[in-house]
Amino acid sequence: MGYDQKFVFESMQDAKSIRQYLEAVVEGLENGRITVSTGEQQFTMEPRDLLTFTVKARKRGGEGRLSLTISWRCPVEDGPKPGETLTIEG
């Protein structure tokens, strides 16, 4: 059974730097593997099959926010493999 893992990084960046991060995400989606790291912490994900893409935008006062979320189901590592059959013996 899997366990929860979480990676969080937040900093002020200019638009050019953020574009480079987004381009790396696009490349990772194309390759099926995205790795994020900072210092000694490294986190790798393998988005596959159908992905859920959520866009949220908001303006409030003098502040704007754009949130992009990409999510997917990870395969259950301990589960049955495709084509495997169940055997029960008594």
pLDDT of the chain along its 90 residues, tens only? 456 788 888 999 999 999 999 999 999 999 999 999 998 888 899 998 899 999 999 999 999 999 999 999 876 665 566 777 666 565
Provide the domain limits for residue 52: 15-71
Does any domain span residue 59? yes
- Total domains in the fold of the chain: 1
DSSP state of 50: S
Distance CA(78)–CA(30), nearest Å, equals 26
User: Is 39 a domain residue?
Assistant: yes
The verdict on residue 43 lying in a domain is yes
Residue 25 lies in a domain: yes
78 within a domain of the structure (yes/no) = no
Beta strands in the chain (DSSP E): 34-38, 41-45, 52-60, 63-71
> Is position 87 within any domain?
no
Short-list 46, 65, 47, 66, CA closest to 55:
66
* Under 8 Å between Cβ of 49 and 72: yes
Query: What pLDDT does residue 1 have?
Result: 44
- Report d(CA 72, CA 32) in Å as an integer: 12
